[in-house]
Amino acid sequence: IIKVVGGEDIRIVGGTLVSTNGNGVYSVSREAWHVVTVVGTQGLRLVGLDIEGVWGDFVYLSADTALDDQTLTDVRITNNVMRNAGRQGVVLNGGNGVLIAGNEIRNVAHIVFDSEPTPQQGFRNVTIDRNVGTGGGLAYFQFSGVADKSVADHLTITNNVLTGGHF
């Protein structure tokens, strides 16, 4: 629904984004249908959104590997309500200075917070704090990358309350 590539100081504040996957079921043919996709942006705020019925991910964040200097920096995803995703909750495939806090995330088919960066992406200085919701069908958190090639530094996960889901 919303795709941002590049740019600086982007603000998406308030509003409702509703797609057609009311139950949050997984569909391989629609897994790339994310509601908010952000690539290589510097200074992004997603605040106070109500997102529902997504086929892919609620939020997909990525460095722009096509442009050498387009890292994803200074991102704040705060105080949003997200319900029923067919794939992941929030995906972080590259970024520096990312805060994901105070969100309510419910009914995610796979993983609530996921990161699988390529060697060109990676992440630094990421905080996931004070989020609440129900667990994913596969896991709450997954952070992986290519061994010895992807950067993964300074990840802080604190004060989250996620219940249910797969254990």
pLDDT in tens, 22-41: 999 999 999 999 999 999 89
Exposure pattern of 25-59 as b/e (b: 16+ CB <10 Å)?
Answer: eeeeebbebbbbbbbbbbebbbeebebbbbbbbbb
pTM: 0.92
pLDDT value of residue 30: 93
User: What are the per-10-residue average pLDDT scores of the chain (167 residues)?
Assistant: 92 95 92 92 96 96 67 94 95 92 95 83 90 86 71 89 76
pLDDT in tens, 75-85: 999 999 999 99
